[in-house]
Structure 1
Amino acid sequence: MDNYFYNVALKGATHIVDSNEKARFISIDEGTKPIYRQITTPPNLLYIDLPENNTFITDDMGMAVFEIDKFGNVVWEQKQKDKTYFGIIPINLNEIVFNAYSYGRVEKLNKVTGEANIIYDGYMRDIVPAEGGNLLLVGHEDKGKAVIIDVEGKLIWESNPEFYYPRGVWQKEDGNILIVDFRGKAYEIDYYTKNIIWEMKGFNCPNSIQETINKNYLIADEHNNRVVEINPINKKIVRTYSRDLWSPNYARELKNGDWLICDTDNNRVIQINNQDNMVWELSNMHTPNRAVRLEP
């Protein structure tokens, strides 16, 4: 198997393992500033695959949106004073959609040309891909509702406005819509009737939801400081990750089954495998609230 740390060193970084078994890449050009950390335990230290694709992050208090490569280098960013961001989707290698929350709008941006267009007006709290290359958004305006738009902003679908403070949303493979509400509940909405056909309580300010590969629901249960996987049939928790988490805002299952988590109040983004071992960590953030991996 390739020695990935050696390959990183060829790119101009030094691999250091400290007494806590934390492996760090240190940029030579920037002195001792850590640009990336990968955490695991020997003897596997040199045999952990790095992410193959870039990670896109919105950082609330950092007032920035980032694209970061697998070595922790910022390859693109946008920062603007007093402009908070909450949600991001890479459409392709050059175009992204993100939520400029404090301005109450969703923008589509070409990173190469710098051309930006407002495609939706509204204070939305989450943006995720929807069927047919469309975008699914949810927010608390108009009493709280979810909407589906195309990448130019045309309205395709909207839910009934019956939610208190919806924070996370997802479209299932069967087309139905999942929503988590800050009042502590998760819901499933029938796409065609727009009726609530499933709900579960017992969360403390849940902030994101996703249908997993095995058809369970992955929820970032923010104020319980945990990420949980729920079997929707019996409403039982089948897996919990809470190790050292502090107000996790977001969790996403990657194609390889790992979880990508915004450990928001710990100012970092982490990736854990199905043995709950951390395999990738991006530190030195402010309050990251959304992180997605570009996985074609």
Structure 2
Amino acid sequence: MNIRTSIDAMNQTARPDASLKVWRLDKHGALMAGFSDAIISISPQDCAKRALTVAALDMLGGRTDELAIPPASTTILERAVIMIYPRGEPAISTPDSCAAAIKLLKGLHSVEVTNPPKILVNPFLVDGRYCPLSAWDSLFARRVTMLPKQTREAVLKTFKMSCESFNRSTIARMKGCLIHGDVQFGNMVRLDGTLRLIDWEDARIDHPLIDLAQFLFVNAIPQSQIREVIRAYDPALTTEDLLLFGYLNYLWTCFFMQENQDLMQAARTWAVAQNLPEALCELSEDQKTTKGKSS
């Protein structure tokens, strides 16, 4: 499904009096559109996102109203699946919203996981625990081999360092739990006075700190607030505990999200804040240039 198909499907759903506020399209052709009276998610018909949403919401069980806003309706078209969510008050990046978001994540990660459906289980888990090498081999190894030597060496050295930090920490022994997988303020809505998550299409059983690291990264939480946010999630955590997942977020953005300028800027900001080698900090710029030449 391409951009045109997504927009056509969106137009079939919109009412004349429902003005479009914001929309974004991911690399799979899935569209998230915010109208004045509803939030609409459109995914390709052959995509597993609808099944993931259903499976994740089923796992929430009696805590659904506390943590999530389920789709109010689902429409299946020939080439697309449309899910419509009721529109509440959108979350914006403020200290109060950060605190509410962390409370929301803690609640989500405490949901009991018993015999999860196979579709939700991340293949990067080994015996229920996160395996960095499995993720690396599947997502990044081939792309890294195509980088210039200096950049490639910096990428590999930093991955090795972040893995060592991960393996030394007690977080390496944390079991997988239900995570949201796309924790940004754009996917948080305050409805009936409670901040909840929508767009469960990337939900899965995975390491809980993936959500936390992504929240800090994608929302570009200021460096001055990061330690406080981490402590609010778990006082025993340190910024070093999140290095691996922050780094994998960085690589994912550089390799796969070049068209999202906000994410690319967040990636650059994160890399500089982590004092990464210059060759690695420039990876985001290099990938944008490569993308521009190939398009």
Give the TM-score, by structure 1 length. 0.26
Higher relative contact order (CA 8 A, sep 6+): 2
The structure whose residues are more often strand, as a share, is 1
The structure whose residues are more often helix, as a share, is 2
Give the TM-score, by structure 2 length. 0.26
